[in-house]
A and B are shown apart, each in its own frame.
Chain A
Amino acid sequence: MAVCTGCSLLCEDIELVGGTSHAKNLCRKGWAHFQSLYTERTKPTIEDQDATLDGAIAKASEILANAKKPLLYGWSNSTLEAQAAGIELAKKIGAALEGTTSLGQCTLMEQVLTGKIPSCTLDDVRNYADTSVFWGADPSNSHPRHLSRFSYYPRGEKHQKSYEEERSCVAIDVRKSSTATLCSNYFYRLPPGTDDQFIESIMAALDGKIPKFGDKKRMIELGTLLRKTEYGALFPGRGLVYSLQEKMDLLQKLIAKLSEITAFKVVPMVEHYNTRGFNQLLLDETGFINSVSFHDGAAVHGPMQSMIEAARSCDAALVIGSDPLSSLPFGIARALAKKPLIAIDPRRSLTTDAAKVVIPSAMCGFEAGGTALRMDGVKIAFDSVIKGDMQSDEQILARIKEAI
Chain B
Amino acid sequence: MDADVTIVTFRDIFQDEAGKKGRYTDEYRDLSARIILDRQEMARLGVKDGQRLKVQNDVGSVVVAAKASEDEPHPALAFMISSPWSNQLVGDEVCNASNPGPKRITARVSPTDDGITQISELLQRMRA
* Residues on A facing B (Cβ under 8 Å): 28-29, 31-33, 35-36, 39-40, 102-104, 136, 138, 140-142, 144, 174-178, 189, 191-193, 238-239, 242-243, 245-246, 306-308, 323, 325-334, 337-338, 348-350, 353-354
0 or 1 for each of B80-113: is its CB under 8 Å from A? (1 = yes): 0011100111111111100011111000000000
Q: Do the beta carbons of A174 and B91 come within 8 Å of each other?
A: no
A-B contact pairs, 28 of them (CB 8 A): A29-B13, A29-B16, A32-B16, A40-B21, A102-B95, A103-B101, A104-B95, A138-B11, A140-B13, A141-B11, A141-B13, A142-B13, A193-B100, A242-B95, A242-B101, A245-B95, A245-B100, A246-B96, A307-B92, A327-B82, A327-B84, A329-B101, A330-B88, A330-B91, A334-B125, A338-B127, A350-B23, A350-B84
Q: Do the beta carbons of B91 and A141 come within 8 Å of each other?
A: no
B1 touches A (CB below 8 Å): no
Complex alpha-carbon distance, A239 and B74, angstroms: 17
Which residues of the partner chain B approach A175 to less than 8 Å between Cβ atoms? 8, 10, 71, 74, 79
* Residues on B facing A (Cβ under 8 Å): 6, 8, 10-14, 16-17, 19-23, 59-60, 71-72, 74, 77, 79, 82-84, 87-96, 100-104, 119, 122-123, 125-127
Closest chain A residue to B101 by CB distance?
A: A242
Closest chain A residue to B89 by CB distance?
A: A330
Decide: A329 near B13, CB < 8 A? Known: A103-B95, A192-B6, A192-B104: no
CB of A34 to closest CB in B, whole Å: 9
Q: Do the beta carbons of B11 and A142 come within 8 Å of each other?
A: yes
Complex alpha-carbon distance, A31 and B79, angstroms: 26
Which residues of the partner chain B approach A333 to less than 8 Å between Cβ atoms? 87, 126
Which residues of the partner chain B approach A328 to less than 8 Å between Cβ atoms? 87, 93
Complex alpha-carbon distance, A32 and B25, angstroms: 14
Q: Do the beta carbons of B21 and A32 come within 8 Å of each other?
A: yes
Complex alpha-carbon distance, A128 and B24, angstroms: 44
Q: Do the beta carbons of B87 and A329 come within 8 Å of each other?
A: yes
Decide: A306 near B94, CB < 8 A? Known: A32-B21, A354-B127: yes
Q: Do the beta carbons of A329 and B96 come within 8 Å of each other?
A: no
Which residues of the partner chain B approach A177 to less than 8 Å between Cβ atoms? 10
Decide: A36 near B21, CB < 8 A? Known: A242-B100, A242-B103: yes
Q: Do the beta carbons of B20 and A330 come within 8 Å of each other?
A: no
Decide: A325 near B13, CB < 8 A? Known: A103-B93, A330-B88: no
Which residues of the partner chain B approach A178 to less than 8 Å between Cβ atoms? 13
Complex alpha-carbon distance, A369 and B122, angstroms: 35
Which residues of the partner chain A approach B119 to less than 8 Å between Cβ atoms? 350
Which residues of the partner chain A approach B122 to less than 8 Å between Cβ atoms? 350
Q: Do the beta carbons of A308 and B13 come within 8 Å of each other?
A: no
Complex alpha-carbon distance, A332 and B102, angstroms: 13
Decide: A334 near B126, CB < 8 A? Known: A141-B11, A328-B87: yes
Decide: A103 near B94, CB < 8 A? Known: A138-B11, A333-B126, A334-B125: yes
Complex alpha-carbon distance, A243 and B95, angstroms: 9
| 9 further interface pairs, Cβ-Cβ under 8 Å (given A243-B103, A350-B23) | A141-B12, A175-B10, A239-B10, A325-B84, A328-B87, A330-B59, A330-B90, A333-B87, A334-B125
Closest chain B residue to A143 by CB distance?
A: B11
CB of A169 to closest CB in B, whole Å: 18
Complex alpha-carbon distance, A330 and B95, angstroms: 14
Q: Do the beta carbons of B13 and A239 come within 8 Å of each other?
A: no
Q: Do the beta carbons of B22 and A306 come within 8 Å of each other?
A: no
